[in-house]
Chains A and B, each alone.
Chain A
């Protein structure tokens, strides 16, 4: 006879039946938005530990919120990076340029010039302030919503648009979905559609830099939704184990397409707090505060450069627009959310700061916006000379088969011949 627990066969006393829990966002379409539950500490309240501190000393910073720009537009507290007005204006300009670019490309998609686009509206401070805090040869492993980094690093807008249009000047030869840029010369790793894969890759790059005794560091960005992927855990574990010189960023914009952040675990803790379990430094920062973002990235980059190891930064922000041109957010969230967002608009906040310093004015800002819109328009016209999607100006046909391998193996040679034969059958006059 078995000697284990005796089975009584009776129901379990008075215990209620188990309940399955499925998170639900606070507001759905038509709901009144009330953000009073969000704890938004005043700017300047959070201490700034030494960059070389023990990872565990950052624990309070993973649940708090690093903020520099107050409601009055002044920069306050230990995290104030004390940037000079010229740098502030450059950051502001890059943020405004990114927004102007997004607006124009969104329209371009609606006009049928390309198949797809993704804006980063409301998140410009994160990519741009981070780019300013990094050295230009630090390697970025971005997600699809860090176009601001590429723009800040001076990558030509025309090249970006060529890629978006998949035209004959597209450096990626029309192989990639629009916005999946790759720009090695600009320290911008090739974007993949597969979420979070770049997180462990960034750690590997940082490990390589350390193996070679280099001084460059790596940084990567994923959304809060993708932090649920196994790659997040892989990256955090490898970063911790090898003390990799890497800054891992989670852009918590509250939404992963139609799923609110609760489906990535946000109801129980912050994303920054996950750092603690790995023994990694963690920071949680107001993602709409360009100065706070800059300061956090600078802190983490200095720490990595000094061989003090990796940092996880959560950028707390809001995805102000749809996930992509294929998405309609009014189907799953209240239209009031973006307007009511308590951390405001990153561009307006930095602008107000510069105005309060007496270094900027509404007129200058309006003039800048006009200039930037013109700059984007001119780049668009330039790129359109190389073709728009589906209008025949694309890369030569055989390039489809190139770069699968370094050299073309026999089976791809045969398939390339077949494709060209098919082409000639359809268009007998076709020449390349």
Chain B
């Protein structure tokens, strides 16, 4: 999985980390390299974050650089925009993606537009970290996947890692990027990959190659997808938690699918998508977010427009249902192995 990384990364000693530890390490490393990086958010300071992503950072870097904030997402993002205008590189945390909406005006109208409307005089090199996605009995307001709201905004980049290795490298790249980045962390896989079989014992990252995280500094370029596994029967476009679910389903079905973890939704690695669909002739798009106007619709449209003459079957789209995220019926909502399996069968029949 490290093919595209520089040689030095191959040689770097690795050890198993979970995604939270990898994120914490990315923050630690970038903060040590750049004194303009500051972290703020609810409970991120002394306590180290409700998911421990910022544990130890206040102690190490001081309250000037890592501090707790009032419970006010508009204020968190608005203040971050002002800090960025001053010349800092803020990395605010929104405790759950479900709670990013009070800050939406500041994100959409301000952070995303700052460079454009000032013709580059002011920029917003802000990285907004936020846990997202379901599969944890989070109910309506601790499970949402609102990425399509952000991919629709000109001027924002949206990044979603699927392994500790990628989380560290992508977060470092996001923080160093001079554009505002929404960095959604799939909290279902903070502690281990999830294959969609909610009734099986949970796994840790120890046995997974993506859990091997190189020591020290490295970054994974934004806008570059990762080929999870090569194949010729169909192309699977997927990101976040669903990478692992898709992998397990296709493995179990013995289908020789090519699985592409998009990693960055905007800007999208369109070359990787085109190359793969042109090879396989079939495409399956999977995400946890609701279906209508989800990011999958954009992927389906792009594949249809650009790979039409290579397609041997209608493009399939497996997503969450168009309902708010339910609590008790979580596994009926979640696009798990059965729903994905049906779509795979339809594609294989054609």
Contact = CB atoms under 8 A, between A and B. Distances in A.
A206 B79 CA distance: 9
B85 A189 contact: yes
A241 B179 CA distance: 28
Interface stretch (A152-160, A174-182, A265-273, A416-424): A174-182
Contacts, number: 147
Contacts of A139: 85-86
A141 B83 CA distance: 12
B53 to A, nearest CB: 21
Interface string A236-268: 011001000000000000000000000000000
Interface string A182-217: 111000011011100101111111111101100000
B82 A205 contact: yes
A200 B122 contact: no
B70 A237 contact: yes
B38 A202 contact: no
A200 B115 contact: no
Interface stretch (B102-110, B288-296, B311-319): B102-110
Interface stretch (A2-10, A310-318, A399-407): A399-407
Nearest to B74: A234
Interface string B118-129: 111111000000
Contacts of A205: 82-83, 85-86
Nearest to A211: B64
Interface residues of A, number: 46
A400 to B, nearest CB: 10
B225 interface: no
B219 to A, nearest CB: 16
Interface string B94-119: 00000000100110011001111111
Nearest to B90: A204
A172 interface: yes
A404 B115 contact: yes
Contacts of B157: 405
Contact of A203 (B82, B110, B114, B120): B82
Contacts of A208: 38, 82-83, 86-88
Contacts of A206: 82
Given A207-B79, A208-B88, A405-B179, A190 B105 contact: no
Contacts of A230: 74, 102
A171 B115 contact: no
Nearest to A181: B118
B118 A182 contact: yes
B74 A192 contact: no
11 contacts: A172-B118, A172-B119, A193-B109, A203-B75, A207-B79, A208-B86, A208-B87, A237-B72, A404-B155, A405-B179, A410-B267
Interface of B: 38, 64-65, 69-70, 72, 74-75, 78-88, 90, 102, 105-106, 109-110, 113-123, 154-155, 157, 177-179, 223, 266-268, 270
What 3 A-B pairs are tightest by C-beta distance, nearest first?
A: A204-B82, A200-B78, A204-B79
